[in-house]
Chains A and B, each alone.
Chain A
Amino acid sequence: MNLIGYACSYIPVEILSATGLHPYRLLHGAFDLSKEGERFVRVDACPMVKSNLAHVIKNQAKFAALIGSTGCDMSRRMFDILAEHTKIPVYVVNIPRTDNPAIYNDEIDWLAKQLEHFTHKELIAEMITDEISKWEARRARLRSIDIKRAAHPSLISTTDFHKLMSGYHKGALSDEITQHQDPTDKPRVYLLGSAITYEANHILQLIEEKLRIVGDFNCGLSRPLGIRIKEQSIDGVKKAYYDQAPCVYKRPHQRYYEFIKAETVRLGCTGIIAWTLDYCDVHEFELQKIENVLNLPVLRIRSDFSFQGLSQLKTRIEAFTEMLCTRI
């Protein structure tokens, strides 16, 4: 019982970790888990939320605390349900959608205070500095691997990179998976949309049979690697997390588009993979704008984590690849 579950990129892992608990991002998403989750919510809830619900409730003995946030409405409400169905202490943090650092700072301070109280452990400056060093080092290592993924030719597949990032999200501070180099000249694409869950590696594998994902803006992948803490203090943590490349939920969300557009150019991508989960409206709503703003071919993949339609998806990926090759 040493996990502290959280669900949002704006929750500083350094603070969670400083409590001595093991940060664990709730990034589950599998068809069977999702079906189990339907015991608690309607069928038209997001399959990742449903999966996370099922995972936590099944494994509640492993969780010491849960940190919710107001990132997306379904995710925020998931913590209501977890508070009802488990005895795990739940803390929900206001993550502002508008540009409002004051609220964010107050709320992270509040969270730190709650965790100190809960763990009976004062989060002294040294502990925070220590955590910053550890996690910064971890992110730096992952960034160096990400550079290989982005290289020309790309040396690391996102299928492998996802395994490494899953380790990070599960709180591992060292690479347990050896990355092997796999240079390729497949068409270079950028991945957007709903989080790639721990269990969704097969989707990446399927995509990368024909394409190479060389970059992403995805909560299940490299999203945290943009966080660079410059000031070795809790204020430095807050600033770095607040200033990370903005989430698509932010209002207005121009900066999100500026960021991903710059990334697709920097990485020399010729196409976009937009992965959305059923009823994940926030990402669904963006699809048309993604097409308009990025001005690149977009392959929309919508999923409920089931394997239904996989061969059809394969055909679509092949057709998309052919189209990209023709354009090149």
Chain B
Amino acid sequence: MNDMLTSRERFGLLVIDEQPDRCNIMPLITSHAATVKGMKLRDYYTNGENMARAQIATVEKYEHDAISIFSEVGIIAEAMGSEFEYPENDLPILRTPVLEKKDIEEIKLPSPRADGRLPVYLEAIEYAYAALGDRIPILAYIPAPFTTAMMLSDPNKFLIQTIREPSRVESIVDRSLAAAIELCYHVIDAGGLPIIVDPLASSSVVSPKTYRQYALPSERKLVDFLHRYDLDIILHICGDTSPILDLLPQTRADLISIDQVNMQQAIDKLSSRVRIIGNYDTSRLAFSTPEDIEAEVRYMVEGALHAKKGYIAATGCEVPIKAPEKNVVAFIDTVKEVGWYWV
């Protein structure tokens, strides 16, 4: 069947509880776009126009339903002073967390138009929005406060502090929340729909208790702030979130993106309250064959398509940078074959 709607129209229907022509397809195609465009990764994440061009080329190639402005979760931390190294063909690497040099009280809130690579992100959003904003959502990934907090610190020390120095962790998270909000103001004005990503709050990284204590409240505050704008907010947490599935609706996010979770379990627990996004295993995109991917994606979509509040077919995490294009195509084409609501 041919698409009847643009991606913009399709997503617009989903978030007002209407079934679109087919389910939205939003694999987390972030830095993989550089591969599609034949661009060095450093050129991708240090130049907004490049990032946008790569994303546009990717959407034109795969015809999925979102542009994803993102490279990695350190951007806010970097703008607050953490130092990153930029390998030519890899993602930025955290070298010196700012809290190794300064105390949290000394860290200024970043200026999104000036600090770190935040201007790169904003430029990418503006470029993509000007090019395709009428027909496709421009998703702007916002590192959640807990994840940013860990990128401001030595991660190991930070994790210990979550147990030993809760008030310090809270103040770092609060500062990170303020920075995230400041970034969101600019992201929204640029035309991006913020999607909150909190990979370091995953149960693969921290305990449910730690999640409940630090990550969840800050996610909720960020969601609440964005709800002032009446925006529909996606929360993505990578890895295994099975232990915190029941907690996720407390964030008040409108769409929850899951990774290593049993889809049926997620549907049972969440689908009457939020729209579900997920959750094809991205490693399969890197190492499997189109035939296997087709069978697996078909199974996934058929099981999730009629989730009560709606479903977006996606990968559980970012599409691997070097994933073979034919595999990504197999994923998208399969959803386009089986993911129809209007017949």
Q: Do chains A and B touch in the complex (CB under 8 A)?
A: no
**Residue positions of A touching B, CB distance < 8 A:** none
